[in-house]
Amino acid sequence: MEIWLKWGETSVFFDAPDELELAPAKPSPEAPDHYQNLVAQALSNLSEPVVIIDYLPPARAYADILPILSGRASDIHASLWRIPPDQRRGALGELGLTALVEARSLGSEVLLLCHNTTRQLIGDTLDWPRGYLELLLKMEGAEATVPPEARITVLELGYDSQGTPIATANLANAADSVVVSAGGAPYDSTLYTSLQALIIASRACSEDGSLLLAAECAQGIGSPLLAKALYEAQKGMAAGEHASPEQILARRYLEVARRLRVILATSLPRALSQGLLGARGFDTVQEGFTHLLRIHSRSHRSALIEEGVHTYVAPAAVA
């Protein structure tokens, strides 16, 4: 069978054997006004909260939410750590918001909006939600701190690469292998964003399984600090008290790579994928998938995730 995935500005396909047990991890749609209603309900229990948006593009996902927030919030700030550094200024302009680094104080009420993939991306060891908010402030280098009496409300939103509201994706069982696309440009334009898809998708893969990431990475790594953080993580160097986004991604990637076999289909040099990531690199998705079949056979159980940056696999689905 012929399977198509987004790759940069286009799509590519790979041939999978008919005997492969391939399960698409595809989210179901939510009602168009689902998250507007959730935001309105949350605000009804607050007075004038400081709103923080842990932003994942596209901006259109917030087009109908921001007017609701603007009418009630004392301040609205955006954390842009999920976007490569050179794209953050443009994202702020598109949203029309100020960066979280400019926040001077948070007050007693905080409403925090994030994508529903966030917990899987940063790890489950944080004290949620206070530890999560403190981490955002540290990553952004903000002066503001979380007051001890702060009431923190978190809304986890699901939306796809077009900003359409979606629910979680369900799998009957964890898969022996997972094939994941970052979702095409701009989400697979850099390793910085593509690694996020890999980390998020790892939840769908069983122990000692294989994870094949399809990501063009036409713009390279996306952050020079990421290469440094990956090298230091591989060498066991501590990230320090004020962890950067790159250090968080490097730490989480290393946790995945220690549990699973990582295979990359990318335009990045193989020396980078093998030397910096310790992963097997291939130029095409077909080559990477053929390697995966050699490991697991033509009839194993596999999962397909078409938009890895935006797709959250429900924990119960892989328990």
> Helix axis angle, 224-234 relative to 191-201, nearest 10°?
50
pLDDT at 77 over 80: yes
Q: Which two tokens stand for residue 188?
A: 């697979």
Read off φ and ψ for residue 231, nearest 5 degrees. -60, -45
CA distance 30 to 12: 28
- pLDDT category at 319 given cuts 50, 70, 90 is very low
Report pLDDT for 123: 85
CA distance 128 to 203: 19
CA distance 81 to 244: 9
Give the mean model confidence (pLDDT) for residues 50-57. 97
Coil/strand/helix, residue 54: strand
CA distance 307 to 129: 26
- pLDDT category at 314 given cuts 50, 70, 90 is confident
Coil/strand/helix, residue 75: strand
CA distance 313 to 27: 8
Which domains does the chain carry?
2-27+168-318 (3.90.226.30), 34-157 (3.40.50)
Report pLDDT for 129: 93
Beta strand 280-282 pairing with 10-15: unpaired
